[in-house]
Structure 1
Amino acid sequence: MRTLSRLLAAALAAAATLLVPATAHAAPVTGRPVRIMPLGDSITWGEGSSTTSSYRADLWQRLTGGAGLAVDYVGSARSGSLPDTDNEGHSGWRIDQIIASVDGWLATARPDVVLLHIGTNDMNQNYEVASAPARLGTLLDRIHAGAPSAVVLVAQIVPALDATIDARVDSFNAAVPPVLASRAYARLVDLNTTITTADMRDTLHPGDAGYTKMADLWYAALEAELGGGRDWPLLRTGLEPGETATTWTDTAEAAVNVGGYQANLAGMETGPRAETSRGGANALMYSGNDLSASGSYSYMRVFDTHLRLSAASVLTYWIYPQQANGTYVAVDLSFTDGTSLRDSGAADQYGVRAHPQFQGEGGRLAVNRWNLVRVNLGALAGRTVDRVHLGYDQPAGTGPFRGYVDDLAVTGSTRQAADPAAAVNLALKHPATASPACAPAEDAARAADGATAGNSKWCTGTSGATWQTDLGAATTVRTVVVRHASSGGEQNAWNTRAYRIQTSTDATTWTTFATVTANADGITTTTAPPATARHVRLVIDAGQQDGGPTARIYEVEVYSA
């Protein structure tokens, strides 16, 4: 597997690195944003997208908001509605036309990663189809010559609705792997087999749903290049503004003998509510009424996704049942092969099957409190999540049920904790103090409230500022996650450049847990040898990327794993 240090060797040679005690390890950080060039034709530009954003907007959100990377799209073209509209998408262009201009683009942009989707117009125009794979090889060689340290992700291109054109597409795609076989800098990404006719806006171009699938596939492929051991969520949401929103509300996939929680409702409800939350303002509310003691169920659609699972994939969520019947509820995953998580035999951290019925019978979900559920999906590696459901399933018993689900994530990182208690943020909603804030609504408590939406941050302009929290009791600290400016939707230039993490048992004598320099990312995860601490402190050495003192910290998370 290539790592970020391999990918950005030239950049890292000139930049400082994350400094931690000698035996510590952490997700790599860079001294600048990762430069990504989306390269291709009108599909890269965004034809067929309602905002001409192509896959680039969704991919941007996943890379910056999910993985916490500082990203700079590069290219001479501009299109779309997203924070960075740069790209090299050129409508109607064939492979040979890209070859004719790529040298200049590369010299100007100096990309670290190239996302290449090209060949659609060769197939559409029936232009020397037999030699198109050879032209692709020539293009790859030119890219490698112009950007020798860059990794090139090469797409098997999306299908066409015209049968004749699509047959050419299939032939071209079949020839792509042999072209890549002798080019170690290039990696194959299949963007063809999961795009359906329903995902296409016209003969050649995906619609918004198709572009979202493309973003998911690019994102999954980029973990090997940019992950470097960091948390790499395929899906993560707390239902807050700016986070992944539900695709459906109150929409049943299948239901038997389940009515509404209230008399005027016909069936089970699911949807975001600002009524209670584990952190932030919103959670996914569920409610219904079991009408039969001989078997009842309701599986509700929540998210339309396209998440390819790996051996390291894990599902986590928090659930707050409001009565015993409400414990017969679980997040369920439907896969593109027609199977589901609930019927897979997968189990949670306690060995209880990941099925609504067994979750209720397992006795591990307490009423009127938040419960963590963690399911290892490694045995399902290779399957693709098509939809996320919330299911109620009760073989015996009747009556109303209600509750909430929050902080749902499907992650692909190997950094998952084996012990469920170790996955708990020890700093969440604990007392915090800090140097003077930029404004009264940006005080120390905002960096421990579990939210990054709605400008929920601690901001300070004090030179050498500190922020600290009291965990309540001495405990083992192994990992500290800091969410900087861009994790809350602000610009990368405001991400904290340099800081120290310190620990203490008495808030008087402090020991340096880790020192971070030359950071540009929106989320930093630092793991070091375990320290016993009741208090954790940040010391800001350089607030902004230009060295200015202002620091914007949206969240500090402390973990024992």
Structure 2
Amino acid sequence: MRFAYTSLVAALAWSACVVAAPSASVAERQTSATVRIMALGDSITGSPGCWRAYLWKKLQDAGIKNTDFVGTLAAQGCGFTYDGENEGHGGYLATNIASQNLLPSWLSSTKPDVVMMHLGTNDVWSNIPAANITAAFSTLLSQMRTQKSTMKVLVAQIIPMNPSGCSACGQRVVDLNAAIKTWASSKNTTTSPITVVDCWTGFETASMTGDGVHPNEAGNQKLATSWYALLAGVIKSF
């Protein structure tokens, strides 16, 4: 009887080990869940917006591969294959995207977990006040949170502007970026956090754009670096 009892105890102990093993596998699967990311913006984001290609490559090189960049627009050529679907609509204003109710259908089609937004350049160029632009951001944010209550949002303090024919644009960008920081703080929640990404500091229009507005190769590399660490942190939070 002692032999039988000892064997039974050993068998039960072995069974407990077998049952416990799958939990590690479950945890591993949870940490590698695919994160759907929408890049929302204008031509700086989508025409062709090769900073997104370099950003994707930085994530891949760092082993952060559980991403799916989503959007109703296809990737454009950036010299190598990358996951480049996006919502970078050339010429669009944040105020128009909001007033024309364009975002809900894009969200419904793509179902992002994260939205990274570089918007406001065309609004600034059109001399729309910063307060109007951030009011449009509030509309867009509400639509994002309606689509997904736990939406994580990264909003850019946009790159500088110095286009021909708009000497006031530089200061308007400074004013908008200050308003964006205040806006993000007022709208941030634990459930749906907003992260401000400083794309302005260190970006030089003379060497990083070809026209005072749109990034060239150096500008695209700089933008990818600006986004990388904060986006990587958000992805790892899932």
Deviations 1:370-422 (A, max 9, x none): xxxxxxxxxxxxxxxxxxxxxxxxxxxxxxxxxxxxxxxxxxxxxxxxxxxxx
| Residue ranges of structure 1 left out of the alignment (5+ in a row) | 1-17, 47-51, 230-561
Counterpart of 2:229 in structure 1 is 220
Deviations 1:185-238 (A, max 9, x none): 211001011211211121211111111111112111023212259xxxxxxxxx
Partner SS for 1:225: helix
Number of aligned pairs?
204
The normalised TM-score by structure 1 is: 0.34
Counterpart of 2:203 in structure 1 is 195
Counterpart of 1:350 in structure 2 is none
Distance 2:50 2:148 in 1: 24
CA shift in 2, pair 1:21/1:69, >3 Å: closer
| Residue ranges of structure 2 left out of the alignment (5+ in a row) | 1-21
Counterpart of 1:151 in structure 2 is 152
Distance 1:149 1:177 in 2: 20
Q: Contact 1:116 / 1:152 at 8 angstroms: preserved in 2?
A: yes
Partner SS for 1:73: strand
1:167 aligns with 2:166: no
Distance 1:219 1:143 in 2: 22
Structure label with greater radius of gyration:
1
Q: 1:27: how far off? A: 9.3
Counterpart of 2:143 in structure 1 is 142
Deviations 1:338-362 (A, max 9, x none): xxxxxxxxxxxxxxxxxxxxxxxxx
Q: 1:138: how far off? A: 2.1
The normalised TM-score by structure 2 is: 0.78
Q: 1:83: how far off? A: 2.6
Counterpart of 2:60 in structure 1 is 64
Counterpart of 1:91 in structure 2 is 90
Distance 1:138 1:120 in 2: 18
CA shift in 2, pair 1:139/1:66, >3 Å: same
Distance 1:174 1:143 in 2: 23
Q: Contact 2:130 / 2:179 at 8 angstroms: preserved in 1?
A: no
Q: Contact 1:40 / 1:98 at 8 angstroms: preserved in 2?
A: no
Distance 1:35 1:167 in 2: 35
> Which protein is richer in helix relative to its size?
2
Distance 1:38 1:89 in 2: 7
1:30 aligns with 2:32: yes
Distance 2:24 2:52 in 1: 34
Deviations 1:410-469 (A, max 9, x none): xxxxxxxxxxxxxxxxxxxxxxxxxxxxxxxxxxxxxxxxxxxxxxxxxxxxxxxxxxxx
Q: Contact 2:38 / 2:112 at 8 angstroms: preserved in 1?
A: yes
Alignment of 1:322-341 (within 5 A): none
Partner SS for 1:77: coil
Partner SS for 2:40: strand
Distance 1:21 1:186 in 2: 31
Q: 1:150: how far off? A: 1.9
Distance 1:147 1:201 in 2: 38
Counterpart of 1:126 in structure 2 is 127
Q: 1:67: how far off? A: 2.7
Counterpart of 1:104 in structure 2 is 105
Counterpart of 2:114 in structure 1 is 113
Q: Which amino acid aligns with 1:94?
A: L
Q: 1:70: how far off? A: 2.4
Partner SS for 2:24: coil
User: Which one has more relative contact order, counting CA pairs under 8 Å at least 6 apart?
Assistant: 2
Distance 2:53 2:113 in 1: 19
Distance 2:139 2:155 in 1: 13
Q: 1:45: how far off? A: 0.4
